[in-house]
Amino acid sequence: MRGQSLCDTRGVRGRLVTIPISHFCEKARWALDRAGVDYVEHPHLQLIHVFAARFAGGGRTVPVFVTDTREVLAESADILRWADTRVATNRRLYPEGDLGAQATALEAWLDEGFGPDGRLWMYHGTLPVVHEMGQWALAGIPAWERGVFRVGGPAIDVAIRRYLGIDAAAASMALDRVNGVFNDIAGRLSDGRRFLLGDRFTAADLTFAALAAPMLLPARYGSPLPPPEAMPDGLAREVRRLRAHPAGVFADRLYAEERVPRASAAA
Ligand SMILES: N[C@@H](CCC(=O)N[C@@H](CS)C(=O)NCC(=O)O)C(=O)O
């Protein structure tokens, strides 16, 4: 739990169950932060998150957002839509009409392939050095779960690999597909437009930038991420290459211009 004690929930509009470094959780955090929603984050270790997600009323994935009226939103896209009801019409991530439909379609495409592919590639490279990732992977998670991480290193590696079907061949194919998405995004922007669907920031832009985080390690991410120097060499090389790619430069600009920090985190 961040920026607030366990007991102090005054003014809280919801609770967000996360794996803190998860990019799907970042996607939800970004939308909630942008809408100025006050919420408490409940960060958990990978695999333990399944119990936390179920306990909150969701499925086996995070983010899960529980609103102050006890509505349970267990898909990041549903959290974005809920957050969108809290912003002025001209700032909506899903504008009315065709633009909104296009934003929805691009978001779904990125959620389906790009998100899982980037995660698989990143885990394949970092699981061998999982203990060196502790200071980032464990940000804000409960003490007993940190204990599980410390004693369970090799077992965590095996368990996550099995759970997500990670091996060298899968990681290499995932990186190929990630490169394809970066090229696709760059192609969409090649006519000089400011955002993926024109001159307005939508759910498609937010989703691309958040889900690109394993490849770009943005400094303004809503949970601490390692710098490239802390990553294994092969990963660091790819991060630097993709940061320089036009789609990487675009995501970096979105983080600089659109990623407002969480209101209560600054307090
Ligand atoms: N479609 C879901 C995907 C979320 C997702 O894949 N979350 C990951 C963390 S990055 C997770 O919980 N993975 C565990 C699992 O798939 O069981 C969403 O958009 O919320």
Give pLDDT, residue 96.
96
pLDDT confidence tier of residue 262, bands split at 50, 70 and 90: confident
CATH 1.20.1050 fits 97-260, yes or no: yes
CA of 253 relative to ligand 1 center, distance in Å? 25
What is the arrangement of strands in the sheet containing 14-18, beginning at the earlier edge strand?
A: 40-43, 14-18, 64-67, 72-73
Comparing 157 with 206, the larger pLDDT belongs to: 206
For a pLDDT cut of 70, what percent of the chain falls above it?
94
CA of 74 relative to ligand 1 center, distance in Å? 9
The domain defined by 14-92 folds into: Glutaredoxin (3.40.30)
Quick one: the chain helix, strand, coil %, rounded to 5? 60, 5, 35
Using CA atoms, how far apart are residues 240 and 215, in angstroms rounded to an integer?
9
Comparing 267 with 248, the larger pLDDT belongs to: 248
Q: Is the pLDDT of residue 10 over 70?
A: no
Q: Is the pLDDT of residue 5 over 80?
A: no
Give pLDDT, residue 7.
38
Q: Is the pLDDT of residue 23 over 60?
A: yes
Q: What integer best gives the mean pLDDT of the chain?
A: 92
Give the mutation target among 22, 23, 24 for probing the ligand 1 site: most ligand atoms within 8 A of CB.
24
For a pLDDT cut of 90, what percent of the chain falls above it?
82
Q: Do the domains 97-260 and 14-92 match in fold?
A: no
Domain range list for the chain? 14-92, 97-260
Q: Is the pLDDT of residue 3 over 60?
A: no
pLDDT confidence tier of residue 229, bands split at 50, 70 and 90: very high
Give the mutation target among 29, 32, 62 for probing the ligand 1 site: most ligand atoms within 8 A of CB.
62
Alpha-carbon distances, residue 130 vs 122, 124, 184 (angstroms): 11, 10, 32
